[in-house]
Amino acid sequence: MTPLQGCLLVSALLFAIGFAGAVTRRHAILALVGIELMLNAANLNFIAFWRYGAHPEALTGVMFVIFSIAIAAAEAAVGLALIIAIYRHYKTSNLDEVKDLKG
């Protein structure tokens, strides 16, 4: 097994765990944590493909990941702010009870 395959397996596992958490958790913050996990799985893929790719000297993977982490931070901030706003509005952070988007 090459190191790349190992990295990809870890990343896929991480993504699956994150997806499962995002889908199954009722609490909004836990769902957000799941999403962060899926995001980091993607970051891991970036790093792995860059590290074992054709041009490891070009630093492109690192650049992408830094951007991605910055965006993830921003996203986490927005998401938390949304959750706080939702909690203030509905007096709950249970996602099953927040159904106003229903068509």
| Interaction between residue 96 and other proteins (CB under 8 A) | yes
Nearest-approach distance from CB 91 to other proteins, in angstroms: 17
Using the minimum distance from each CB to other proteins, give the nearer residue, 47 or 79.
79
DSSP states along the chain: --HHHHHHHHHHHHHHHHHHHHHH--BHHHHHHHHHHHHHHHHHHHHHHHHTSS-GGG-HHHHHHHHHHHHHHHHHHHHHHHHHHHHHHHS--BGGG--TT--
**Interface residues for other proteins in 8-27 (CB under 8 A)?**
19, 22-24
Give contact residues for other proteins (rule: CB under 8 A): 19, 22-24, 31, 95-96, 98-103
